[in-house]
Amino acid sequence: MPCEAGFTPRAAVYDRSVTDGDLFRLWRIRRDEAVWRQDGHVVVADPALVRRVLTDPAGFAPANALDAVTPIPATALRILASHGFRLPVTLANNGTDSHPGLRQIVADAMTPRRVEALRPWLTGVVRRRVSGVVHELRDGRSVDLYQRLAADIPLLVLARLVELPVDDVSVVKLFSRSALELFWARPDTARQRELATVVGEHHRWLREVARTGPGLVARLREHCDREGLGEDHVVAALFFLVVAGQETTSQFLTLLLARLAAEPRVREDLVAGVVSAESVVEEGLRLVPPIVSWRRTATVDADLGGCGVRAGDSVLLWLAEAGRRVAADGDAFAPGQRGSRRHLAFGAGAHRCTGAQLARMEAQVVLAESAPLLRGTRVEAEPRCPANLSFRMPDRLVVRRVQEGWIQPEARARNSSGDRLPAPSGMIPARP
Ligand code: HEM
């Protein structure tokens, strides 16, 4: 797999036909209520209530977490079926007894020790990427930081961590973004058929990996054999991991870099070591989480903050708004402020994200290595986010150099202990 080159997308997955102000643009809406009904969901924005729902699997089951928001028509279902596409309950949507065993296997693959072991390798990859970006900027070219520093890096990390045989990064990216659009956006019927073709074809590849893959896949296979769960469970777990285990982080990196580009003070503090990469990442998760909402199904009638919920209701947890409300100064990007770490970007309870530490480590590395280069650049093209109930899916972040002498050799981010990081190879003065 190419670690050095960056990533070229196969096709744009972008929908310009939507209006603002609906649940598919949750990152743009502002509402003050704690809970209300909208578009067939009970929407929960109050952080305490979001946490209550997430940590009550008996009252609020995860069964609908991966359901297609826009019903998939028979024509698209037939396409999926022709590729042998089947998705039994897996991880995030699994409220059955098989969940703890499957979850444990995945969690064991991403322990803090295993995650930390990847840090030096990842630092090298990112540093070389940053060096290339610096040279291009210095030559006066525009650079898309989404493509160069965010799109494929989490997939390369995931593949290395769990021994996933990824031959073509752009194919996996096309698949995972198509899956997010098919299941969480509102494509029309023709688009659903296109997406079903991409997702179906890729499902075949996942089935092959499920049969033969080493490492985590082999452990999932043995477990499912032993427990009588069958191959579909391995494929389903892989399906979720390949999508959730890299798209989320890649989206977060783009959103975080975009936010940092708009926060010169935080950027300077980061480069000067006044704030740590860890606290900037945490504040980013709070204010620009890649997953803005997540679903549960009410299993019994209940009262949620004065709103009557009936068994069977879809409960939409507005994670992004809950994050805004937990901090002392909710709208301010102020790393280390009171409440900064109390966000719910990774969910909570029995299904809390098993990749949280991995995502944090990746974001810290990318941030520490790339923050200095944002100093002398301006954003030429902001990320665009298509309409989607849960995922932000930014598609670009184009920057250009604005001044001479913009990268100071001594301007280097610090690590968590406050030590200055060695100068990335890209940290060179501008050409005279
Ligand atoms: C910034 C990046 C990420 C964010 C914001 C994120 C967020 C989430 C959220 C909101 C959930 C649902 C939690 C719940 O229902 O309570 C989840 C579940 C999950 N995530 Fe992540 N995630 C990220 C990265 C990752 C990575 C890197 C991996 C693995 C490599 C991963 C693997 C998983 C898994 C396996 C689950 C299902 C856990 C279960 O149901 O037991 N995620 N994530």
Domain definitions of the chain by residue range: 68-288+352-401
Q: Distance between CA 146 and CA 152 in Å, rounded?
A: 9
Which residue minimizes the CA distance to atom 15 of ligand 1?
351
- Report the distance separating Cα 422 and Cα 280, nearest Å: 20
338's tokens: 């009171």
CATH superfamily placement of domain 68-288+352-401 = Cytochrome P450 (1.10.630.10)
- pLDDT tens digits for 41-64? 999 999 999 999 999 999 999 999
What is d(CA 172, CA 176) in angstroms, rounded to the nearest whole number? 6
Determine if residue 21 is left, alpha or beta; phi over 0 gives left, psi from -120 to 50 gives alpha, anything else beta: left
- What's the rounded Cα separation, in Å, for the pair 390 and 382? 20
Distance 65 CA to ligand 1 centre (A): 12
Task: Choose between 88 and 63: higher pLDDT.
Answer: 63
Ligand 1: residue of 161, 353, 390 to mutate (most ligand atoms within 8 A of CB) is: 353
Is residue 252 within 8 Å of residue 288, measured between CB atoms?
A: yes
pLDDT, tens digit, 9 for 90 and up, residues 125-178: 999 999 999 999 999 999 999 999 999 999 999 999 999 988 889 999 999 999
Strand partners for 338? none
Per the DSSP assignment, residues forming a β-bridge with 313 are none
pLDDT band at 417 (very low <50, low <70, confident <90, very high): low
Q: Give the atom of ligand 1 at the shortest distance from the alpha carbon of 290.
A: 5
Q: How far apart are the CA of 354 and the centre of ligand 1, in A? A: 6
User: Is 50 exceeded by the pLDDT of residue 258?
Assistant: yes
d(Cα 326, Cα 295) in Å, to the nearest integer? 20
Question: Does ligand 1 lie within 6 Å of residue 351's CB atom?
Answer: yes
Structure confidence at residue 419 (pLDDT): 52
Confidence band, pLDDT 50/70/90 cuts, at residue 29: confident
240 CA → ligand 1 middle, Å: 9
CB 266 within 8 A of CB 409: no
Is residue 13 scored above 60 in pLDDT? Answer: no
Residue 101 CB less than 6 A away from ligand 1: no
**Is pLDDT above 80 for 3?**
no
Which contiguous run of DSSP H or E holds residue 258? Answer: helix 247-261
List, as one string, the DSSP characters of 369-386: HHHHHHTTEEEEE-----
Q: Is the pLDDT of residue 416 over 70?
A: no
Rounded Cα–Cα distance for residues 130 and 377 (Å): 14
Positive or negative torsion for Cα 234, 84, 14, 172: positive
Given this model, what pLDDT does residue 406 score?
Answer: 53
